[in-house]
Amino acid sequence: MPDPLSITVAGAGIGGLTAALCLSDAGHAVTLVERRTGFSEVGAGLQLSPNASRVLASLGLAAALRRAGSEPPGVVVRSLKSGSRIGGVRLGEAARERYGAPYHVIHRADLQTLLLDAVRSRPGIRLLVGREVTGLAERADGIAITVESAGGGRGETLEADLVIGADGLRSRLRGHLDDRPVAPARMAAWRAIVPRDVVPEALRGGETGLWLGRGRHVVHYPIGNGERVNVVAIVPERQGDDGWGRLGEPAMLRAHFRDATPELAQLLGLPDSWLVWSLADRPTARPMARGRLALLGDAAHPMLPFLAQGAALAVEDAATLAACLAGGDVPKALAAYDAARRPRAKRVQKAARANGRVYHAGGFAALCRNLVMRRLGPDGMRDRYGWLYGWQPDGNGAHGRTRTDTPEGPGF
């Protein structure tokens, strides 16, 4: 067993929290630095597919996930204009059987809370909040970051064997490895949560609803023990802005869905307020890790949300990084991490972009999509994701692998 390392993780989002847990459970001493002072997550839901839930289960979080989240029996795909059913994806018990781990939906705040509780229960993790990472200096035998408290004040230097940049889409640390900029995706995600009992009766089931139309789509699913429904509408946007939490005018959203089928229009008319997030894209960092600095999650490979994989890939990164470090030599371990994760992240990014095109198709392309979905049926659609959901950390450590590989199609 190699000596335990001293590791600093910058950013306590889903990726940073999971990395801290994986690394601490592997025996390393972890300092987790977060610039926010509180952990109140904005209201929104998250889908957590088996490739991620299996990692969280290995951290002892399966029961907490079951309590806080739910397992939709499937996805129902419909046309947003006509309301007719296009297809579906079978999940629930069938996803567990096929992939050996559940497909959860959960409120982001609930996931963040259960990860944070686990972090606080590990004596090997030191959590520093209200501190922003502002600089990095690497030497042959170590690495140091500078942190400043959120309200100004004196900076402090933290020495470590390894630094992990889990600092999100606009990562400061990414610039040390790859400075290709963030590009606006010219789309926005409008997100809201409504009580389930006011939702149109036909949409109150446990399934995830996916409504497709030219240039836009809507997803909804129950969260918070089924008492509320998370609604996300993706629409075109000319000019984006940075970050979360811009308030959206409900009438503007309704205007995008004037032609929607009455049930969907009713659902979209329910929220008094929407939070709007401009979507952005950026290539997978090249490299994702070098020397004593590694990136993970959105810092390394932001994902467009058309495959619901951003957080899931951050969780995969965290497990892989911990496995790679089992050998002890940091630069070698990070080279192995880069080799294991970069192709996977690029493949998922590509598939997410393709899914966006398929979801938003119109005319003849939409007809072809609908035909393929009908032909595949709910089990065929689920199995199409075998390469994605079947991922698990390699039993030997370093390289993640896919247990159930299936050819990659044009997306969905």
Q: Where do contacts with ligand FAD occur on this chain (CB under 6 A)? A: 10-16, 33-36, 46-47, 132-133, 166-169, 172, 189, 232, 277, 297-299, 303, 305, 308-312, 314
Compute the distance between CA of residue 44 and CA of residue 52 in angstroms, rounded to an integer: 18
What's the min distance (Å) between Cβ of 32 and ligand FAD?
9
Distance between CA atoms of residues 246 and 304, nearest Å: 18
Q: Under a CB-based contact definition with an 8 Å cutoff, are residues 133 and 33 in contact?
A: yes
Residue recorded with tokens 């490739």: 51
Of 37 and 121, nearer to ligand FAD (C-beta) is 37
- CA-closest candidate to residue 379, choices 99, 162, 2: 99
Judged on CB neighbours under 10 Å (0-12, 13-18, 19+), 129 is middle
In angstroms, the first-to-last Cα distance of the chain is 44
- Amino acid 352 reads A
Q: Is there a contact between 86 and 77 (Cβ–Cβ < 8 Å)?
A: yes
User: Rounded to the nearest whole angstrom, what is the least distance from the CB of residue 151 to ligand FAD in the complex?
Assistant: 14
- Output the DSSP codes for 375-412: HHHHHHHHHTTHHHHTEE--TTSS--EESS-----S--
- Cβ closer to ligand FAD: 71 or 372? 71
Least distance in angstroms from the C-beta of 328 to ligand FAD: 26
Looking at beta carbons only, is 133 or 336 nearer to ligand FAD?
A: 133
Q: How far is the CB of 220 from ligand FAD (least distance, A)?
A: 12
Per the annotation, the verdict on 221 as an active-site residue is: yes
According to DSSP, the residues that pair with 128 across neighbouring strands are 33
Closest CA to 310 of 274, 338, 287, 282: 282
Query: Between 13 and 291, whose beta carbon lies closer to ligand FAD?
Result: 13
d(C-alpha 238, C-alpha 19), whole Å: 36
CB of 232: closest distance to ligand FAD in angstroms?
Answer: 5
Of 135 and 328, CB closest to ligand FAD: 135
- Which of 103, 221, 337, 389 is an active site residue? 221
Whether the CB-CB separation of 302 and 284 falls below 8 Å is answered with no
Parallel/antiparallel/unpaired status of strands 208-213 and 401-402? unpaired
Nearer to ligand FAD, 172 or 342 (CB): 172
Distance CA 291, CA 301 (A): 19
Could you tell me the smallest distance in angstroms from the CB atom of residue 83 to ligand FAD? 23
Catalytic residues: 221
